[in-house]
């Protein structure tokens, strides 16, 4: 018996309508990327394992899909490691490549590798698939598309302001009104770790804090204690868990808490600049919210960090995120190149538009017009008309066989083709074709020029 076909867990097929809808989102994002001056690049689907490992933190490293070496990959593995069945220790001998986990680290590699060909500041966008060995759930897949934009070679906080405006413009164009752009600063988190006496535990501190909205305050505190952060330190952190108010009110409260931390106050200063800059250039439909517990668990962030939440009516995780990474290219040998970037979560944005019924009617699969095939002679006459329709930008096809009318009409109906043209012997003789509106069931006799004008 033949094996029933299936896709790997955490991956999906996309039908024609889904592809068209995804393309609608991608083209909207791409258009705004280019309006903001970003240029496209692409990088390979897999990278050297050494390029990726150690860049995403302990949890991120575990989610990297490793690719087994070609040939007899066990032949070169140390015999003691094989006998001990220590898979973690064997990785470096089993694999030297991996599917890319995100687009940011490969971009940093690209910048270093091509630094002599790049004019700084360099603004790039990239829309490609990435892979993570994550636990699949709604809106989270093992293969998914990221839509990234980054600037490297500029320390200016005006870049952060531009990214906030970019998020606002894209979601306004997609009619996803009411998104919340959450912002924080890793310098503030470093300051918090410093004042509670956990400066040497910054990474476990931020990894745990980043889970607050998912697992709640008590479990976050429990995880921090398990990672070695004392209960006394957590008491000093309590004002952060209960912080409320407007953007300005939260900043004022944090000033008091972080007054003894130089790095923490630097983070406050950066967030104040961004807020002041946006007051003269207000957002259209998004809201900017200061979220002091926002950490984003990736190790490479060093300054402002972002996360975009869908409107309250949609229960889904973040639909975008990013931040500043001052030190990322230094891991590949290029120092003193600051970078900042954001990403759009295509798959989750799709779910938001679907749930809110925001896809325009014009975004659909298939053609606009189907010519009915009445036979060899009539089909030959239609050939020139098909070209005229297509040159006018109207998606058109001729049914391939002179099948029964009912079968051809059923084909048009099942494929949601809005218009059918009947070009039989009488229509050809009079020069007027019958245009049938499949949605309304109405039909009228028109010339080719009149039909093209109607549908263009």
Tokens representing residue 242 in the block: 């209960």
The full length of the chain comes to 456
Question: pLDDT tens across 358-409, in order?
Answer: 999 889 888 999 999 999 999 998 988 999 999 999 999 999 999 999 999 9
Question: Partners of 144 in the beta sheet?
Answer: 130
Angle at which helix 262-279 crosses helix 158-173, to 10 degrees, equals 50
For residue 86, what pLDDT is reported? 63
Q: Beta strand pairing status for 339-345 and 320-324?
A: antiparallel
| Whole-Å CA distances, 171 to 33, 146, 341 | 13, 16, 17
Low-confidence ranges of the chain (pLDDT < 70): 73-90, 92-93, 139, 297-298
Query: Would you say 130 and 344 are in contact if contact means Cβ atoms under 8 Å apart?
Result: no
For residue 89, what pLDDT is reported? 62
For residue 94, what pLDDT is reported? 76
Which regions of 14-74 does DSSP assign to beta strands (E)?
Answer: 39-40, 46-48, 66-67
Query: Would you say 455 and 369 are in contact if contact means Cβ atoms under 8 Å apart?
Result: yes
- Alpha-carbon gap, residue 202 to 129, rounded angstroms: 31
Phi-psi region of 372 (alpha: psi -120 to 50; beta: other; left: phi over 0): beta
Give me the DSSP letters along 285-297: S-EEEE-TT---S
Query: Would you say 73 and 92 are in contact if contact means Cβ atoms under 8 Å apart?
Result: no
For residue 81, what pLDDT is reported? 63
Question: pLDDT tens across 148-165, in order?
Answer: 999 999 999 999 999 999
Largest distance between two CA atoms of the chain: 92
Residue 304 Cα to chain centre, angstroms: 19
Question: Partners of 59 in the beta sheet?
Answer: none
Q: Beta strand pairing status for 143-152 and 339-345?
A: antiparallel
- Alpha-carbon gap, residue 41 to 47, rounded angstroms: 16
Q: Residue 279: CB partners within 8 Å, gap ≥ 6?
A: none
């Amino acid at each position: 018996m033949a094996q029933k076909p299936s896709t790997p867990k955490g991956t999906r097929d996309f039908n024609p309508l889904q592809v068209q809808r995804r393309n609608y989102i991608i083209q909207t994002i791409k258009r705004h990327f280019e309006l903001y001056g970003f240029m496209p690049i692409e990088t390979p689907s897999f990278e050297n394992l050494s390029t990726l490992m150690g860049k995403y933190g302990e949890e991120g490293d575990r989610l990297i899909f490793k690719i087994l070496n070609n040939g007899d990959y066990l032949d070169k593995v140390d015999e003691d490691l094989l006998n001990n069945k220590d898979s973690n220790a064997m990785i470096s001998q089993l694999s030297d490549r991996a599917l890319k986990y995100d687009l940011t680290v490969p971009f940093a590699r690209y910048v270093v590798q091509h630094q002599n060909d790049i004019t700084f500041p360099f603004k790039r966008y990239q829309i490609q698939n990435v892979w993570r060995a994550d636990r699949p759930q709604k809106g989270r897949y093992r293969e998914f598309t990221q839509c990234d934009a980054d600037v490297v070679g500029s320390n200016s906080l005006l870049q952060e302001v531009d990214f906030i405006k970019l998020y606002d413009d894209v979601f306004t164009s997609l009619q996803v009104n009411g998104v919340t752009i959450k912002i924080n600063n890793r310098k503030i988190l470093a300051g918090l770790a410093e004042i509670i006496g956990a400066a040497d535990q910054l990474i476990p501190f931020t990894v745990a804090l980043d889970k607050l909205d998912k697992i709640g305050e008590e479990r976050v505190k429990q995880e921090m204690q398990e990672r070695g952060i004392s209960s006394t330190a957590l008491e000093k952190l309590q004002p952060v868990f209960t912080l409320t108010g407007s953007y300005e009110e939260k900043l004022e409260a944090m000033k008091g808490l972080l007054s003894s931390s130089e790095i923490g106050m630097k983070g406050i200063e950066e967030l104040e600049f961004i807020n002041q800059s946006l007051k003269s250039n207000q957002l259209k439909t998004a809201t900017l919210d200061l979220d002091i517990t926002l950490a984003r668990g990736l190790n490479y962030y060093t300054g402002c960090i972002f996360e975009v939440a869908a409107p309250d009516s949609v229960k889904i995780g973040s639909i975008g995120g990013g931040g500043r990474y001052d030190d990322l290219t230094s891991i590949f040998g290029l120092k003193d190149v600051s970078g900042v970037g954001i990403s759009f979560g295509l798959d989750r944005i799709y779910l938001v538009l679907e749930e809110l019924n925001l896809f325009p009617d014009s975004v659909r699969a298939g053609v606009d017009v189907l010519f009915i095939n009445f036979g060899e002679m009539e089909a030959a006459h239609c050939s020139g008309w098909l070209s005229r329709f297509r040159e006018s930008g109207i998606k058109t096809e001729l049914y391939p066989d002179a099948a029964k009318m009912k079968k051809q009409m059923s084909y048009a109906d099942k494929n949601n083709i809005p218009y059918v043209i009947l070009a039989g012997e009488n229509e050809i003789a009079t020069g007027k074709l019958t245009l049938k509106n499949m949605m309304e069931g109405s039909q009228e006799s028109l010339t080719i020029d009149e039909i093209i004008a109607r549908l263009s």
